[in-house]
């Protein structure tokens, strides 16, 4: 809990057997965390078996691989159903340190932001942490273009370490986003569309063999997806096109009752 607000950590998992236990242990060390939801996207290893043996973890298994975006959709929908006031996404590959969960929850719980990102770029630690140079350069170029087109000032759009308020997840129509990796970018564009400021904190990141990372070809596909998302956002702002992704409130805002406080 953080100031009577329930904090749930969600973990979108895929073949995370080697790092799951270590990530889970560090998550539980953070006093504000009430529970953990792990959604496995049809892993080919024994991620599910390990997860079911860990304390304070609700495990949900996709019967087939649906994609990273689809995994997140299940994570957030389940967290809302479990009564979360603050949802923090932590990858179980131990690339991002769970030690920042209290700080991210505090920024949301104190009413300063509805979305907080753990930025690998703030503080200049990305390359020192092992981020490949080509990935870093692509990150910086995409972020520059997106800031111009979206009219924002975010240090990076491509971190997987994120925290959201219940209010935000109930309003943003994230269920209309891609089931693939570009989901990450689309939800941030939606947050900006609905007028929510995005907070950031500096986050050291680790790059090692077991850490999940998309390859070069998938990165190119993701990059074009990000550019298309930004262009769609701008054209919709100019009323030149209609996009359901940037037009209406989430269906969840009608399906999920808000948590009652006394």
pLDDT tens per residue, range 158-198: 999 999 999 999 999 999 999 999 999 999 999 999 999 99
Q: Strand 7-13 relative to strand 35-40: parallel, antiparallel, unpaired?
A: parallel
Cα(63)–Cα(111) distance, rounded to whole angstroms? 38
Q: Strand 86-89 relative to strand 7-13: parallel, antiparallel, unpaired?
A: parallel
Cα(237)–Cα(157) distance, rounded to whole angstroms? 20
Q: What is the rounded (10 degree) CA torsion for 95, 107, 84, 191?
A: -80
Structure tokens that stand for 80 in this block: 């809302």
Residue 233 pLDDT greater than 60, yes or no: yes
DSSP state of 179: S
Contact 159, 91 (CB under 8 A): no
Q: What is the pLDDT of residues 89-140, one digit of tens each?
A: 999 999 999 999 999 999 999 999 999 999 999 988 788 888 889 989 999 9
| Residue appearing with tokens 């975010």 | 154
Sequence ranges of the domains in the chain: 7-255
Residue 252 pLDDT greater than 60, yes or no: no
Structure tokens that stand for 47 in this block: 């991620």
CATH of domain 7-255: 3.90.550.10
- pTM equals 0.91
């Amino acid at each position: 809990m953080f100031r009577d607000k329930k904090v749930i950590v969600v973990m979108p998992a895929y073949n995370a057997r080697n790092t799951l236990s270590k990530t889970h242990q560090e998550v539980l060390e953070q006093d504000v965390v009430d529970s953990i939801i792990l959604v496995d996207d049809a892993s080919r290893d024994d991620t599910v078996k390990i997860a079911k043996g860990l304390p304070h973890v609700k495990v949900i298994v996709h019967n087939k691989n649906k994609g990273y975006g689809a995994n997140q959709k299940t994570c957030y929908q389940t967290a809302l159903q479990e009564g979360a006031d603050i949802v923090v996404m932590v990858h179980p590959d131990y690339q991002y340190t769970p030690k920042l969960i209290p700080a991210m929850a505090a920024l949301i719980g104190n009413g300063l932001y509805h979305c907080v990102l753990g930025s690998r770029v703030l503080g200049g630690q990305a390359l020192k942490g092992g981020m490949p140079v080509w990935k870093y350069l692509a990150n910086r170029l995409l972020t520059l273009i997106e800031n111009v087109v979206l009219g924002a000032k975010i240090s990076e759009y491509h971190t997987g370490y994120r925290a959201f308020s219940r209010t935000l997840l109930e309003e943003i129509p994230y269920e209309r986003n891609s089931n693939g990796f570009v989901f990450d970018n689309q939800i941030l564009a939606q947050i900006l569309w609905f007028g929510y400021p995005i907070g950031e904190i500096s986050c050291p990141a680790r790059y090692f063999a077991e850490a999940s990372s998309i390859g070069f070809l998938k990165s190119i596909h993701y990059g074009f997806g990000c550019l298309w998302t930004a262009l769609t956002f701008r054209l919709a702002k100019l009323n030149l096109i209609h996009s359901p992704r940037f037009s209406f409130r989430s269906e969840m805002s009608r399906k999920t009752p808000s948590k009652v406080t006394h």
